[in-house]
Amino acid sequence: MERRAIDVRGTVQGVGFRPFVHALASRLGLAGFVRNTGSAVSIEVEGDRGALDAFERELCAGPPPLARIESVTASRLTPLGDRDFQIAVSRVADVAALSIPADVATCAACLSELFDPANRRYRYPFITCTNCGPRLTIVTGAPYDRPQTTMADFDMCDACRGEYTNPSDRRFHAETIACAACGPRLRAVAAGGGTIAGDPLDVAAAVISSGGIVAVKGLGGFHLACDATSDAAVAALRARKHRDDKPFAVMLRDLQAARDLCTVSERESELLSSAARPIVLLHPRTKSVIATSVAPGLDRLGVMLPYTPIHYLLVDLMRHRPLVMTSGNRSDEPIATENADALSRLEGIADLWLVHDRTIHVRCDDSVVRDLDGETLFIRRSRGYAPAPLSLSAGVEEATLAVGGQLKNTFAIARGHHAYLSHHIGDLDDLRALDAYERDVTLFEDLLSVRPQVVAYDAHPDYASTRYAHQRTAGARIGVQHHHAHVASCIAEHGIEGPVIGLAWDGAGWGPDECIWGGEFLVGDCRRVERAAHFRYVPLPGGDVAAREPWRMALSHILDAGGDPAEAVPPSVEASAASVVRQMIARRKHAPLTSSVGRLFDAVASLADVRHISTYEGQAAMQLEAVAALARSAAAYDFAVDDSTHPMTIDTRQLIDGVLVDRHEGRHRAIAGRFHVTLAAVAVDVCRRIRATQGLSRVVLTGGVFFNSYLTALVERRLACEGFAVYRHRRVPPGDGGLSLGQLAVAAAVMKEGR
C-alpha cells in the first residue's frame, strides 16, 4: 500500500476536473480524496503502486476537454487506510489564486439534449453542464461555487440536486445547473416592460422574421438581432442605433452555413467552432444572401456561430436564416446587461426584448479575431478568452496591477508567472464603462486573492485609468510610456530575452516631448527603450477630432509637403470649416504635433478619395486596406530617412508628393497599394539602419496599425527576406487592448531591477 499527494495546476477548476479524478480513482480501485485548493486541485490517493502509477499517467493523458494542465507534482505520504474516494469540500482559506475559466459555448452533449424531446431539458434555454455555460460573466466572488455566482438566486430542484451531487453525473458540481422547473426563465417583453404572452422564443422569431429588431440577452450583455438578409431591417437598425457604416456581425447556424457564405480556411473553422466562439472576420463570397449594408465598404464579414442555448433555439426557429447580432447599445456606449437598463437604453431601437432572470454580473463583449497566415490575430480579446491567464516569463514577486489605457481598455493583474488580462472594458470616457472598470478590478482582486501594491499605468496624465492608478493606495507606481507598453506587450507574449527593435505604430499615445507619438521605432527591452526613429511630425488639427475627419490630416500633410491646400478639401467640407482648420495648422493652435501612422493612413485615405469623414474609429484605414488588398503589385513611393537627427526622422513629404501625382493623373485606385508597400519599405530601411549600428535583428510589430493584416503580412515578409526575425501579436490585440500586458511586463522588469 502506498499513499500519494498529487497537486495539479493549470485550468483545472470549474471544468469538470474533480468528477474526472473521482471516476478515474474509482475505476482503479483507489481511495482518498480530491479537493479544489484555489491555486490547484489537490489529490490524495491510496492503493497499490501499479494502480497509483496508472492513475498519474491517465490523469495527464485524458483530462476533460476544457482542462489545461500546467504542472503535476507528486509526493509520498503515510497510508491512512481510507476505504473510498471522495470529493472533499473546497477550503475557502486555501483559495489563493483561483483560476476562473472563461465563458464556454454550449457543448455537444448539452446541444443534443436540447433538441432531444425525451430529455428533461428539451428546449430549455439555459441548459449547461460542467463542460459549458457561463463562467466569468456570472461570477460575483471567490471561490467559483454556486453561492458566488448569479445562479445563487435559484434553488435547485430535487432532480438537479441529484445530478449536482452525483460524482458520476456530467453535471456533478456544475455550478450553473438548472432546468425548467428550477432555473432561469425567458420572457418576451414589449417597450415599457409588459410581458408578451406566448412562447418567448416564438414571439422573438416572429418579430425578426417580419423585419423587426429584437434585443436578446446573451452571456455578457444584450445583442440587437435582426434578419441579416433584409436590407430594410438592417437599414432600420442602422438608423435607430445611429450607426452609419460600422460593420455588424452575423450569427450563422453552423460551419456549413459559414462555408456557403464565405471562404473558410481550416484555421478559421477551428476558430469559429472553438469553445470561445469569437466573431471571426471572414472573406465573404461575392454572391451572398447577406444584405450589403451589413458591412459596407469592407472586404471582411464578422461571423459567429451560436454559443448559448438561446442562440441555438432562436437560429432554429428562424429556419436557419442568418441573423445580425450586434452589441446592444446606442452608438458607442457600453452594451446593456441589465433588463431595466436595456429597456430604457434600447427604447426606440428594439421592437421586442428577449430577457431572462439570470443576472449578468460582468459585462463581456464578443471577442473578435481573424486568421493571419495560420495565426490568430486578436482584434478584441474578451468573452470566451478572458480571464484565462497568459504566461509572464519574467514573473513578478509582488502582485501587480496594470490599469491599461483609455480606449478599448483592458486591465491586467500579474501573480507569479501569470498575467490575468480582463475582458474588454471599452472606452473609459464613458462613465458606465468607468464604473464597471473599477468594480471589475476589485472582482479580479477577489478572484485572485490579491491587493496589488505595485500599479503600472500609462504615462498619459489625462487617461481615466491613470487617474485611477493615482487614487489607489500603492507601494509603487510605475508610469509606462504608451508605445513602450505596446512593444513590451509583444515581447511578453513571446517571452523574448534581450533587446529588440519595436515598431509601435498606432493612432495616438502620449510622448514625453508633449507630442503625440504613433509612428515609432523603439529599441530596447521591457526595462527601457530608446526612440531610434519616428515619422516626421505634422500638426494634428483639432486633436481627437482629426481622427474622425481624415481630410484634416490630408490638409495637414499637404501643407507640410508644400502642396496646394485646395487639393485636400473634399467638396463635402465647407470652405469656412477648411479655413478654420488651415488656421489651426498655421498658428499651431489646437494642433499638437504628431508622428502617428494611424493619422497618416487617414491623410492618404482622404487623398485617395476613399474616406474623408469616418463614422467609426479606424474606418478610413480599414477601407484603404480593403482597396490595397485588391492591388496585384505596386511600387513604393519615394521617402527619405534623415539620420542626421537623433532619433532619426522618416520624411513623409515625398510620399505625399507621390500620392498627389497619382491623384492628378487619375490613378486613385493605385494609391492604397503603393502606400502600403511604402510603409513596408520604410520598415525595412529603418530596421536595416538600426541593425547596422546596434546589431539588432529581432523586430516586434505592435500598435493598432497592425490590425491591418495586409500591411502586417507585407511588413513581415519584407523584413523576413532581409533576415530579420519578426514577432507579432497572437494572444492579445496589437492595439490598446493589449497595453495592460505590456504595462505588467515593464513593471516586472522595473521591480526586478529595483531589487
Given the rule CB under 5 A, which residues bind Fe ion?
Answer: 506, 509, 736
CB of 593 to Fe ion, least distance (A): 17
Residue 600 interacts with which of Zn ion, Fe ion, none, CB < 5 to 8 Å by class: none
323-327 and 186-189: which strand pairing? Answer: unpaired
Smaller CB separation from Fe ion, 351 or 506: 506
Under rule CB under 5 A, residue 15 binds Zn ion: no
Q: Min. distance of Cβ 704 from Fe ion in angstroms?
A: 5
Q: Which does 736 bind (CB under 5 to 8 A by kind): Fe ion, Zn ion, none?
A: Fe ion
Place of cell 500620392: 659
Burial (CB count <10 Å: 0-12, 13-18, 19+), residue 332: middle
> Closest CB to Zn ion among 105 and 610?
105
157 binds, among Fe ion, Zn ion, none (CB under 5 to 8 A by kind): Zn ion
In the complex, minimum distance from the CB of residue 608 to Fe ion, in angstroms, rounded to a whole number = 24
R_g of the chain computed on alpha carbons: 27
Establish if 129 lies at the interface with Zn ion (CB under 5 A): yes
Kindly state the smallest distance separating residue 137's Cβ from Zn ion, in Å.
16
Q: Which does 586 bind (CB under 5 to 8 A by kind): Fe ion, Zn ion, none?
A: none
3-state secondary structure 287-336: CCCCCHHHCCCCCCEEEECCCCHHHHHHHHHCCCCCEEEEECCCCCCCCC
Query: Could you tell which of Zn ion, Fe ion, none binds residue 236, using a CB distance below 5 to 8 A set by kind?
Result: none
Query: Which of Fe ion, Zn ion, none does residue 304 bind (CB under 5 to 8 Å by kind)?
Result: none
Sole window of 95-103, 106-114, 226-234, 282-290 interacting with Zn ion (rule: CB under 5 A): 106-114
**Which residues 6+ apart lie within 8 Å of 82 measured at CB?**
31, 32, 33, 46
Nearer to Fe ion, 440 or 458 (CB): 458
- The closest alpha carbon to 712, from 368, 272, 295, 373, belongs to 373
- Binding at 107: pick from Fe ion, Zn ion, none (beta carbon under 5-8 Å per type): Zn ion
Q: Residues 171, 177: contact at Cβ < 8 Å?
A: yes
Part of the chain binding Zn ion (CB under 5 A), chosen from 105-113, 442-450, 503-511, 627-635: 105-113
H/E stretch holding 518 reads strand 516-524
Minimum distance from residue 755 beta carbon to Fe ion (Å) = 30
User: What is the closest distance, in whole angstroms, from the C-beta atom of residue 311 to Zn ion in the complex?
Assistant: 14
Interaction of residue 132 with Zn ion, rule CB under 5 A = yes
- When the beta carbons of 164 and 616 are compared against Zn ion, the nearer one is 164
Q: Quote the distance between the C-alpha of residue 159 and its chain's center.
A: 38
Instruction: Specify the residue, 110 or 355, whose C-beta has the smaller distance to Zn ion.
Output: 110
Q: Is 110 in the site for Zn ion (CB under 5 A)?
A: yes
Contact between 619 and 686 (Cβ < 8 Å): no
- The amino acid occupying position 246 is K
Q: Which of residues 139-168 bind Zn ion (CB under 5 A)?
A: 157, 160
- Residues of 106-117 as b/e, b for ≥16 C-beta within 10 angstroms? bbeebbebbeee
Nearest to 402 by CA among 341, 352, 351, 468: 468
Residue list 169-198, contact with Zn ion (CB under 5 A): 179, 181-182
CA dist 411 and 424 (Å) reads: 9
Contacts of 344 (CB under 8 A, 6+ apart): none
Helix residue ranges, H only, 274-420:
309-317, 339-345
By beta-carbon proximity to Zn ion, the closer residue of 160 and 203 is: 160
CA dist., res. 337 & res. 219, Å (int): 9
C-alpha cell at 18: 474533480
Q: Given the rule CB under 5 A, which of 131-139, 445-453, 517-525, 731-739 is the region that contacts Zn ion?
A: 131-139
Tell me which residues touch Zn ion (CB under 5 A): 107, 110, 129, 131-132, 157, 160, 179, 181-182
